[in-house]
Amino acid sequence: MIIVTGGAGFIGSNFVRQWLANESDGVVNLDKLSYAGNLQSLADVAGNPRYRFVHGDIGDRKLVDALLAEVKPRAIVNFAAESHVDRSIHGADEFIATNVVGTFHLLEATRGYVASLTPEARTSFRFLHVSTDEVYGSLNMDDPAFTEEHAYQPNSPYSASKAASDHLVRAHHHTYGLPVLTTNCSNNYGPYHFPEKLIPLMITNALAGKNLPVYGDGKNVRDWLYVEDHCHAIRLALAKGRLGETYNIGGRNERNNLEVVHAICDALDQLRPRSDGKSYREQIVFVTDRPGHDRRYAIDATKLENELGWRAQESFESGLRKTIQWYLDNAEWVSGVTSGAYRDWMTKQYGKVAA
């Protein structure tokens, strides 16, 4: 068995599905079901005998100790986190609680568990921590992409909390010999993406006839990776990555936000034309910028490509097309996750502009 934390979220649910389809071990999914965790994202595997869901917090030592003793996993993949930058700007308490303190408790529980293993089981055990390119800070337009050697310069409460967790993971390796790996990935997109992040928000708002709120001048650049490619890279790192190493993951797909929103509008114009014959681009509005908004992220994935033989399978165009089609085909999932709490967030963040 392996244990995945945060498996009811966007990337975690895609990872669980991909794991069950490609690997022989079973998966235990430990998730506290925050607003971002939805069991509907795993409804298709809920009955799989190799899958089990456990409702709980990574920071709950008693629960995690007992789960590790019972399941005896050969690996833990830690996706659990608060992940939305804008929410961290409104209030970072939950980010510190889960991303920093929760990760610390999970590491400590894992340390105790690993100490209890036979030397053979200890040698093959892995703790893989899923992190972000945002820990490296912001690039200028002509800077080279982030390598694993880039200094940590987090700028938002979210990225600072992820940086802290990365440091704790590193320290547990160097001090206690915990067999860890860390991956730092760029912006993901794809199915089951909670519609508070740029791509799913733009698709769902466009279809609902709402405004498409672009922060600042729309020229901030992100490096987009289809979620299945990220999950594949994590499986490779788990299987073949060197202990204590970090691996950057990214698909060399830099786009500014306005380019992304235009691409979504143009695809929807073809796939689901507006009844008035106008383009979805008409719904774009420029809104107040995100405080401390990082200008550009870009990942240099050379290490992952050379050492582990990983290549992204989707281009931005093919991945975006699949994603948009998925949202068109899964309106029920969208209405299931956009509950009252979601509507409260939209009003808090966008007021009358796009809520």
Whether residue 31 contacts residue 12, with contact meaning beta carbons closer than 8 Å, is answered with yes
Name the closest residue to ligand DAU (Cβ). 132
Which amino acid does the sequence have at 21?
Answer: A
- Using rule CB under 6 A, residue 263 touches ligand NAD: no
Binding-site member from 51, 194, 327, 345 for ligand NAD (CB under 6 A): 194
**Contact between 178 and ligand NAD per CB under 6 A:** no
DSSP letter assigned to residue 296 = B
d(CA 101, CA 57): 11
Tell me which residue has its CB nearest to ligand NAD. Answer: 9
- Judged by CB under 6 A, the number of residues near ligand DAU is 19
Residue 290 contacts ligand DAU per CB under 6 A: yes
* 197 is an interface residue for ligand DAU by CB under 6 A: yes
Q: Which of 64, 62, 58, 115 is nearest to 81 (CA)?
A: 58
- Residues 83-112 touching ligand DAU, rule: CB under 6 A, are 83-85
User: Is there a contact between 191 and 14 (Cβ–Cβ < 8 Å)?
Assistant: yes
CB of 109 to ligand NAD, least distance (A): 12
Structure tokens belonging to residue 86: 């804008």
Nearer to ligand DAU, 68 or 296 (CB): 296
187 interacts with ligand DAU by CB under 6 A:
yes
189/201 Cα distance (integer angstroms): 11
Of these partners, ligand DAU, ligand NAD, none, which one is at the site of residue 214 (CB under 5 to 8 Å by kind)?
ligand DAU
Write the CB contacts of 292 (distance below 8 Å, at least 6 apart in sequence). Answer: 89, 155, 156
Report how far residue 163's alpha carbon sits from residue 161's, in angstroms, rounded to the nearest whole number: 5
Residues counted in the chain: 355
Closest approach of ligand DAU to the CB of residue 51, in Å = 24
Name which of 31 and 294 has its Cβ closer to ligand NAD.
31
270: left (phi over 0), alpha (psi -120 to 50) or beta: alpha
Given CA atoms 71, 73, 77, 81 in this order, what sign does their dihedral have?
Answer: positive
User: Counting contacts by CB under 6 A, is residue 72 touching ligand DAU?
Assistant: no
Residue 187 as a binder of ligand NAD (CB under 6 A): the answer is yes
Q: Token pair 């165009």 is at which residue?
A: 317
Q: Which residues are catalytic?
A: 133-134, 158
Instruction: Please identify which residue in 12, 137, 191, 195 interacts with ligand NAD, judged by CB under 6 A.
Output: 12
Contact set for ligand NAD, span 99-158 (CB under 6 A): 102, 130, 132
Given candidates 77, 139, 214, 238, which one binds ligand DAU under the rule CB under 6 A? 214
CA–CA separation, 236 vs 73, rounded Å?
A: 18
Using CB under 6 A as the binding rule, the residues of this chain from 157 to 186 that contact ligand DAU are 186
Give the DSSP per-residue string, 187-208: -EESTT--TTSHHHHHHHHHHT
Cα within 13 Å of Cα(273), Cβ side:
5
Would you tell me which residues interact with ligand NAD (CB under 6 A)? Answer: 5-6, 8-12, 30-34, 36-37, 57-59, 79-81, 83, 98, 102, 130, 132, 162, 185, 187-188, 194
Would you tell me which residues interact with ligand DAU (CB under 6 A)? Answer: 83-85, 132-134, 186-187, 197-198, 201, 213-215, 220, 222, 257, 290, 297
